Amino acid sequence: MPDTKVKKSRGAVRRSIRKRESPSSKANGKSALGLVFTPKQELFAFREMMLIRRFEEKAGQLYGMGFIGGFCHLYIGQEAVVVGMRMACREDDQTVTTYRDHGHMLACGMDPKGVMAELMGRKGGHSRGKGGSMHMFSIDQHFYGGHGIVGASAPIGTGLAFANKYRDSDQICLTYFGDGAANQGQVYESFNMAKLWNLPVVYVIENNRYGMGTSIERASSTTDLYLRGRSFDIPGEAVDGMDVRAVKAAGNKAAKWVREGNGPYILEMLTYRYRGHSMSDPAKYRSREEVKKMRQEHDPIEQVRIRLIKNGLAQEEDLKAIDSEIRQIVNEAADFAQNDAEPDASELYTNVLVDV
């Protein structure tokens, strides 16, 4: 007898191919039900997302001017995912992600000056100028990278979760990867081990609809990525990743599940990147109208701005003042990085190996 669940899934894929779903329509708003931000939370979310947005805009500008070289993947448009998840978790919970990582670093509390300096390959960077955009690290902020290999964050995050359980720690590990990495074999090996040992890990799939220049419909036989853990008995849900409230609500649920010893949880964040895959990507695989529509109807920062003003929690002048303050922080970070020295040649082999 045919599996009706499989039939429904295939039907959903066909409908998605015919008409691309918005983040809120696929997630159905379920994660936002019952969650209303306090004024303090709304302002915090606005400030944190604005910091990431302005930082990434400056990084893109500096890349174009030649101050940043190599690969550079911007997080513009996806800010609600990492900010909402950090709001749902403890400061000592771990984060590991892929190469689109600047937003995660800032949300974890890493100094913008150190992040910008690392982008420019300066010794004041968080990896002392030797890691660059994709390979930053901070034990103090419980940030374990930044990894250039697609899907590599999944086994690393699973390993961090194993260490937590082995040490009887109640920390959890937020393990991020994208829709492109979701088809990697190492992801499924990680799922199996995480469920086999009931490890405290939340897998956050940032589905921004395109793996480099290939849409998810062309790359995946099924596009409901939150169901990918079903064969391992790992629960999951789709979340409107453009709504920071929905992200925090889902993050609260997942963190509670994992921290109570129930094993892994999968969150598929339905989000969207406004820029190309990297700075060298002209993004000709999608239309300007598509990007414009997402900006106008789903921008994560604009949603918070509208609520703040509509509910009388802030005036337009207040939000402009916050933006001005953040621009100053970002400009100071850029100035620091541009005037910082490059690492000395004597540091070529430092911090490469660890004595054991």
For residues 105 and 284, give the distance between their C-alpha atoms in angstroms, rounded to a whole number.
Answer: 29
3 state DSSP class of 94: strand
The mean pLDDT of the chain is 90
Predicted confidence at residue 9, as pLDDT, reads 40
3 state DSSP class of 196: helix
3 state DSSP class of 95: strand
Strands (E), 158-284: 173-178, 201-207, 210-211, 214-215, 236-240, 265-270
91 has pLDDT over 90: yes
Encoded tokens for 230: 């079903």
Mean pLDDT for the stretch of residues 95-120? 96
Mean pLDDT for the stretch of residues 4-26? 46
**Which sign, positive or negative, has the C-alpha torsion 71, 76, 81, 86?**
positive
Predicted confidence at residue 15, as pLDDT, reads 38
Predicted confidence at residue 254, as pLDDT, reads 98
3 state DSSP class of 143: strand
For residues 224 and 237, give the distance between their C-alpha atoms in angstroms, rounded to a whole number.
Answer: 9
Q: Which is more confidently placed, 7 or 288?
A: 288
Q: Name the helix (H) or strand (E) containing 247.
A: helix 244-259
For residues 209 and 188, give the distance between their C-alpha atoms in angstroms, rounded to a whole number.
Answer: 20
The pTM of the full predicted model, rounded to 2 decimals, is 0.89
| DSSP assignments along 39-50, one per residue | HHHHHHHHHHHH
Mean pLDDT for the stretch of residues 75-104? 96
Cα distances from 191 to residues 93, 147, 235, in angstroms, run 19, 19, 11
pLDDT band at 184 (very low <50, low <70, confident <90, very high): very high
Predicted confidence at residue 273, as pLDDT, reads 92
Mean pLDDT for the stretch of residues 33-51? 91
CA proximity to 286, closest of 208, 232, 230? 208
Bridge partners, 269 (sequence order):
206, 239
265 has pLDDT over 50: yes
Q: Which fold has domain 22-336?
A: Rossmann fold (3.40.50)
For residues 61 and 76, give the distance between their C-alpha atoms in angstroms, rounded to a whole number.
Answer: 13
